[in-house]
Structures are given as C-alpha cells and as structure tokens.
Structure 1
Amino acid sequence: MNKKISVIIVLLIAVIALVIVFILTPPAIDFTAYEAGQARKDAFVGHFQPIIAEENTRLRALRKELLALDETSRNKSWVQDLAIKYRVEDYDGTKAAHWDELLIKVGAIPVSLSLAQAANESSWGTSRFARVANNFFGHWCFEKGCGVVPNSRNAGASHEVADFDSSVDSVKSYMLNLNRHYAYTQLRAIRNELRSNQQSLSGAAMAGGLVGYSERGEAYIEELREMIRFNQWAQFD
C-alpha cells in the first residue's frame, strides 16, 4: 500500500509540475492566423511585450542583488557561476576591472528594441524559423542537429538556426546574447553611459550598438529605429 501511495504522490507531483510549466509559459501562437497589418501587430506586441518586460524585471533584480554585495562577497560561488555565464574571463571579484565588466554585462534590454528586432527578424512572427523553431531573433547555433538547417545556407557552411522550446526561451537567449557577446560591446557601453547619466534606457539609442547584428550594418540600425518610431514603442521604455 505504501508503495502505491508513493507512486500516486510522484504522479501528482509530475502533473502539478506540468500545470505550472503550462501556466508560466505562454502557449505557442500562430501569427499567420491574424490578418497582416494592425491585427497581426497587436497580436505580436500583446504576446511579446509582457514576456520581454518579465525577463527585464528578472535582470534588474539580479543586477540589484549584485550591486548590494560588499567586496568580500563578490567571489561567492553563484557570482562566479554568473561570471562564467556572462563570459567574464578569469573572473576575480577582488579585481575592479572584472567586477565592473560583470556589472556592465548584466542588465535589461529596452522593450522597444526587443520588439523591433523580434518583428524585423521574424517578419512579425510569420517566418519559417519562428513557426517551426520558436526562433524570433535569427539566432544561429553551430553543432549539427542543434536547430533547423537554412534552405539557402552557403556551401561549406555548418551553422543552423537555433531551435527553442518556446518564445520565452527565444527572448531569454536573445537578451543573454546581447549582454555577453563581444560583438555588442558598444551596445552595453551605450547602456552604461545612459545609466551613468541617470537616463532611461532608450531602445533607439542602444540600437546604435547593433552594427554587428546584421550584414546590413547601419541600414539595419536605422530600420530598427524607424520601427520604434513608427509603432510608438518608446512608450514601453
């Protein structure tokens, strides 16, 4: 009898866990079901704005927790793990340069900029990779089988388009990418300057640090800024 009860308890815990995951993870959404134009835009923003805002809340809380640490606590195991995650090489919290680098890398990404990139990279959620892989930001991966092989991949190329379990995971990966990849050092520098001047984080301003995100360079940046302006997304920042 006790064995049966144990099995039932384990099953109940598994069911509860699945219910929690379902509640916390927004269901997949087919943006092609919405008519192109305002209806699709509204659905897209309505889906992604709260996801982006929630991840930013988590990042701000994490940064606040770091800022509250005294010098003797900057080498705690969880901080060391965070430094590895954010690619602070040979991290030593007693060194000011390492600590400053970690603080510069941990932070929020403006909602307006996130929305603009998601809409731009995924064609408002209707691209092949958005539909089959929950990839809304054009992320690549480089291990065979890690994602979806592009139809137009050049001969000899080995990259794939990363596959995510949900749009939430896609947003989290996007923000981590901007926060730690060397290609976006300028974006983080712009954010740090805005912080230092006690200014709100501006998506239009931080877009200037994305020259390495697309082969289109400056034209891509201007396109993102125009999307932010036209759709009045600065209100979310």
Structure 2
Amino acid sequence: MRRFFVKFYGIIILINLIFIFFTKEEFPRESAKIEKKVEKVEKKVEEKVEEKVEKIPQEIKKEEVKIEEVKIEKPKYKLKKVTYRTIKIHNLKELNEKREGNYVYSDDGIDLRKLSGVKRKNAFIKLLLPGIKVVQKEIICERENIEYLREVKNYTPEEKKYLVNIFSKYRVKYGDFKSLKSRLIVYPTSLILTQGAIESAWGTSRFFREGNNIFGIWSSNKNEPRIKAGQSRGKFTAYLRAYPNLKDCIGDLVLTLSRLNVYEPLRRAVNRGDSPSEIARYLNKYSEQGEVYVKKVQGVLNYNKFQQYDK
C-alpha cells in the first residue's frame, strides 16, 4: 500500500519536472515563478504521501482479526473409590486360579483343618492377600481425596457428605485434616497376616469358617450379623461379628487401630516407617496378654518371614 502511494505521487512530480524543463526554454521569464510553484507542489505532495503512509498502519490495525482468549478449565476432581468383586471359594482349585483386577475372597467351603501344615499356611495367605491389598488401596484413595479437599474452599454436596462421613468414621473433629491424615495408616501386610494367623489359628477357628472373622472381633450390636460364642462369661453372652467377606474383617481391624486413642503410638510408628517388628511393640493393648502377645506377634512374624509381603 505504501509503495503504491509513493509511485503515484512520484509520477505526478515527474510530470511537473518535465513540464518545467520545456517551459524554461520557451518562457524563461516565467521559469522562476514556475519553479516556486513546483516546490510548493512537491512539498504538498510529500506531506500528503507521509500523511497517507502514517494512516496505513492504523487502517490495517482496524482490520486485524481479534483473537479472543480461550479459558481452558481444569477437569473437575472426582473422589476416588476402589471397586472390587467378591469371590466365594469352595475348594483349593478355585483358590489357585489366576485373576485380574481387584477382588476379595469369602471362605464359604474350605476347611483348612483338613490340610497339612504347609498347605494350610499357603491357603490361608492366599485367602487374605487380595483383601489386604484392597483395604490398603482404599486407605491410599482416602488420603488422596483428603489432600485435595483440604485445599478446596467450596464443597459440592457430594464432597461435603464425604468429609462428614470420613471425619466421623475416624473419630476426628470435623475440619482437623492434620489429625485425620495421621490416622489414615497403611498397616503392614505382614502384621495383618501375623495377627490373623494367631487369632484364627491359621484359619481353623469356627468364626473364621462360619463368619469370615479372622481376628475374633466381638459384636455388641444385636442388629448386625453375628455368631454366638460357645461359652458364656457368667450372665454375659459373647457374640462375634460375621462378615460377608474376608476384606471387611481386615478393614475392621485396620479401622480399630486407626481411630482408637490407645493405638496412637502404633500409628506414629507406622507413619515414621518403622519396621513391622518395631510396630508390633505397640500392640500390647490389643490383647489381655499384653507383652506376651507382642512377643508372640514378633515370633510368628519373623519365623514365617511375612515381611516379604510388604514389598
């Protein structure tokens, strides 16, 4: 555009110069006046050229395409949850099948009493490991959800309900995220196997066989599924909880250790990353046997090399 205006007005100047050249020859007396007029014309032409050139960027700018900023919203956080399926085991063949994804077992048919010592131990471990993994994954998901929600200012109804439930579940004052996080422990696999082996006699107890109750957890709620104990203590009739699968019983054990004040030293040991044998020192309140129970746990733990399942 600028070149066009320069050429256009340049041609006009050239024509004027040619006119002056021939006019000087024919009209010498008028040549001086004509030269002054030409100078005025040239000056006006230059001014108009500059004026047009200056307007060009402004005109182009007006025609520029306006690019609007596009705001890209971050994907909304979705509360994490572990899904799994329950598999009822009726025989050892089913227990040895390879499976994918998250699953938990329900012991509805295997009587481990009929197996030899080595086979019984192997079957017991295989029955518990899938449920242990699911419980640990659930704790990890809860920790991740809490890490996100503690930074959020306005909660959705779903998030609000989740927070109310989880603070209540772990018996922590609503809004105390620091205390809640300290209670969300990933209890070692080795200690769950050890305590399960001790409490259920390697899966041979009646409560294990009939109610998936690995740890001899008592029931005080008459409205929940439970099994009556064989012996009563005076007027007191003891009941033990019955679970739909082994994972739910494992979850109950971990929840007990996670929320009762008496196990706070144990939780600190877990959060520090202490070894399973060191963590076991804080199980002296778990059983009436006290320190004897601790020694028993440490002995079974080390003898069976259960630490290999923590990796």
TM-score by length of 1: 0.78
2:126 is matched with: 46
Give a deviation string over 1:39-91, Cα, whole Å, max 9, x none: 11111112212221221122122213322444445975112210001111xx2
Report 1:50-199 matches (<5 A).
50-73=130-153, 76-77=159-160, 78-88=162-172, 91-93=173-175, 98-144=176-222, 146=224, 147-192=226-271, 194=272, 199=273
Give a deviation string over 1:115-159, Cα, whole Å, max 9, x none: 001110000010111111111011011123641222222113254
Cα pair distance change 1:73/1:208, threshold 3 Å: farther
CA distance in 2, matches of 1:73, 1:152: 54
Structure 2: which 5+ runs fail to align? 1-84, 89-102
1:27 to partner: Cα distance = 4.0
Q: Using CA pairs below 8 Å that are at least 6 residues apart, which structure has the higher relative contact order?
A: 1
**Alignment root-mean-square deviation, CA:** 2.4
1:35 is matched with: 115
Provide the identity percentage.
28
Cα pair distance change 1:74/1:176, threshold 3 Å: farther
Cα pair distance change 1:92/1:170, threshold 3 Å: closer
Secondary structure at 2:144's aligned position in 1?
A: helix
Cα pair distance change 1:40/1:87, threshold 3 Å: same
Cα pair distance change 1:67/1:126, threshold 3 Å: same
Aligned length: 207
1:190 to partner: Cα distance = 1.6
Asked if 1:236 is matched to 2:309, the reply is: yes
The residue identity in structure 1 corresponding to 2:280 is A
CA distance in 2, matches of 1:174, 1:84: 17
CA distance in 2, matches of 1:27, 1:39: 18
Cα pair distance change 1:73/1:232, threshold 3 Å: farther
Structure 1: which 5+ runs fail to align? 1-19
CA distance in 1, matches of 2:191, 2:265: 15
Cα pair distance change 1:73/1:63, threshold 3 Å: farther
Q: Name the larger-Rg structure.
A: 2
Residue of 202, 209, 216 corresponding to 2:275:
202
1:3 is matched with: none
Asked if 1:214 is matched to 2:287, the reply is: yes
8 Å CA contact 2:105, 2:128 repeated in 1: no
1:224 to partner: Cα distance = 0.6
